Amino acid sequence: MGIAIAHRDRLGHAAQHLDRDAALAFGIATGGNVAGGAGHAEGAAIGIAFDRAAEPGLTYYYRLVFGGSTIGPITVRTDHAFTEFAIGRIAPNPSTAGPLDIVFTVARDARVSLAVYDLRGRKVADLVDTRYAPGRYTARWDGSRAASGLYFVRFVTPDGEKTARVILNH
CATH number of the domain located at residue range(s) 86-168 in this protein: 2.60.40.2550
The string of pLDDT tens digits covering residues 45-99 is: 445 566 667 776 678 888 777 777 888 788 877 766 678 899 999 999 999 878 9
Q: Concatenate the DSSP letters of all residues of the chain into one string.
A: ---EEEEEEEES---S---TT-EEEEE-EETTEE-BTTB--TT--EEEEE-TTPPTT-EEEEEEEETTEEEEEEEEE--------EEEEEESSSBSSS-EEEEEEESSSEEEEEEEE-TTS-EEEEEEEEEE-SEEEEEEE-GGGSPSEEEEEEEEETTEEEEEEEEE--
The domain segmentation of the chain, as residue ranges, is 4-77, 86-168
**pTM, rounded to two decimals:** 0.55
